Amino acid sequence: MRSGVEKLVDLQELSALLQSRQWETVKDKFEILAERYQLQQAQLEALLDTVSEAVCMIDGENRVVAWNHRAESLYGIARDEILQQPINRYFSNLRIREVMEKRQIVNEEYHVPCPDTHVLINARPISRNGRIFGAISAERNITELVHLNRQLTQKNQEMQTLKQTLTEIHTRTDPFFSIHGRGDAIRNAINMARRVARTSVPVLLRGESGTGKELFARAIHEASQVPGPYVAINCGAIPGNLFESELFGYEPGAFTGAERKGRVGLLEKANGGTVLLDEVGDMPREMQVKLLRTLQEKTLYRVGGNTPVGVDFRVIAATNRNLEELIRCGDFREDLYYRLNVVTIALPPLRERADDIPELFHRSLQYFCALHDKNIVRTESTLMAVLLRYPWPGNIREFLNVLERLVILSESEILDMRDLPPQFRETGGNGASSPVNQPLQNATADLERDLIVKVLTEAAGNRAVAAQKLGVPRSTLYYKMAKLGIKCRKADVLSNS
């Protein structure tokens, strides 16, 4: 292939003219060559000034050899000023030099060539026969888009703050405002809680773990407008040997290790307010007697004390256990059950509230995006279908954890199914057992049942001893017995074996 010069003039002809000293003809040839070169330069400049990007071209010594009007406008440097000048005299962050030196090809790369100037750059080296002669770059100015995006992000944050403020205002005027649901079961629960909040009667909240019992309890307390505090007590989290001192407090020197000034118990702290007895089914039986007496007489005695302390508080109990089964097993007092069970509110599991999942999803998505400074604009098309099919054994608590995980792990503006926890892949998103898995699950349940019955038989029906042998808390043993249909009297245990 001939070079550009060879196309403009025949070099052999020119050599012959020089040897024959035909100077006028040589002069004419060079004038034609110069005119054609100037024409090509004008065509190149017109081309560069026609494109919408800022174009810069450098030679092998980093001197600027092309600089169009868009580049003049973007960087405020005139063409006449920068041409034939070293480019590093004007810019410290030089992407085009890297392109030339490292022989890179760049496509639509975000770049900040100078402060507060944002561009998308396309660049490549200029080469011929393996030699690099320079590089060219075309940069699209996106500074205004970056500024608009920052303003939009700021406005979104301000909007989320405003929404949060409005929610807090609504919650102060209507404590049940933050509890959402369209189904009959959840609406009935909300309406019943509203009505019972105006009274002081005990309430028993029943539902699986994660269904919102704590949320309902707090809303009932706030709607009651009682002056005292709201005190939540997790009966399953307090060690048995500390239960009495935690609930009822103790006098100075009541036992070894006690605080010198004594301590006010949780029930006494709740005077004039509301007590939530969460996981009340896990309360030790010996403490149930003392609690019942406190509720009946509205007085309590601190550990190591003989002076009655007057208390008056509203009781809300919550459980995910079968209290009736615990009564039959002798692990929960029937008289305490009837004392607490004046009004029962049943909270439905999330798998029975499929109609509420889309609204819960979008409300919570806005919250987590604001919390973690993410801008999620859409979700993968099949994600909602997977969320609707999943059985949600952990209910709303699990749902919120999964959604927050998706937001945190998202690397784009789209929520991706690939970021779902492993259990969604194991179940195919629907939680349904396949025909292959079902016999294994049944076999596992049978093995559990046989083992528990065997250990109970060896322990002569003593559940505390059996739980110790199995290496599980008594509450776990009770749950397994109820789930697997294992009766708890010694004769019944023997009949199961």
Class of domain 437-496: mainly alpha
**Alpha-carbon span 476 to 448, nearest angstrom:** 12
Classify domain 174-348 by CATH number: 3.40.50.300
Domain residue extents for the chain: 4-144, 174-348, 351-427, 437-496
Q: Dihedral through CA 266, CA 316, CA 475, CA 438, nearest 10?
A: -150
Mean pLDDT for the stretch of residues 51-57: 88
Mean pLDDT for the stretch of residues 7-36: 68
Q: What percent of the chain has pLDDT over 70?
A: 86
**Alpha-carbon span 270 to 312, nearest angstrom:** 8
Q: Which of 3.10.400.10, 3.40.190.10, 3.30.200.20, 1.10.8.60 is the CATH number of 351-427?
A: 1.10.8.60
Give pTM, 2 decimals.
Answer: 0.58
Say if residues 404 and 419 touch (Cβ distance below 8 Å). Answer: no
In this prediction, residue 190 has a pLDDT band, given cuts at 50, 70 and 90, of very high
Strand partners, 132: 127
Instruction: Give, rounded to a whole angstrom, the gap between the first and last alpha carbons of the chain.
Output: 95
Strand partners, 234: 278
**Alpha-carbon span 326 to 319, nearest angstrom:** 12
**Alpha-carbon span 480 to 486, nearest angstrom:** 8
pLDDT digits (tens, 9 = 90+) for 247-303: 999 988 777 777 778 889 999 999 999 999 999 999 999 999 999 999 999 999 999
Strand partners, 230: 274
* Beta strands 106-114; 414-415: pairing state: unpaired
**Alpha-carbon span 161 to 454, nearest angstrom:** 58
Class of domain 4-144: alpha beta
pLDDT digits (tens, 9 = 90+) for 318-369: 999 999 999 999 999 999 999 999 999 999 999 999 889 988 998 898 889 8
In this prediction, residue 426 has a pLDDT band, given cuts at 50, 70 and 90, of low
Sequence-separated contacts (24+) of 395-400 with Cβ below 8 Å: 395/207, 395/208, 395/209, 395/210, 395/211, 395/212, 395/349, 395/350, 396/210, 396/211, 396/212, 396/350, 396/360, 397/209, 397/210, 398/210, 398/350, 399/350, 399/357, 399/360, 399/364, 400/364
Say if residues 348 and 236 touch (Cβ distance below 8 Å). Answer: no
- Joined together, the tokens standing for residue 481 give 């017995």
For residue 303, the one-letter residue type is V
Q: Is the pLDDT of residue 76 over 80?
A: yes
- Joined together, the tokens standing for residue 69 give 């009007």
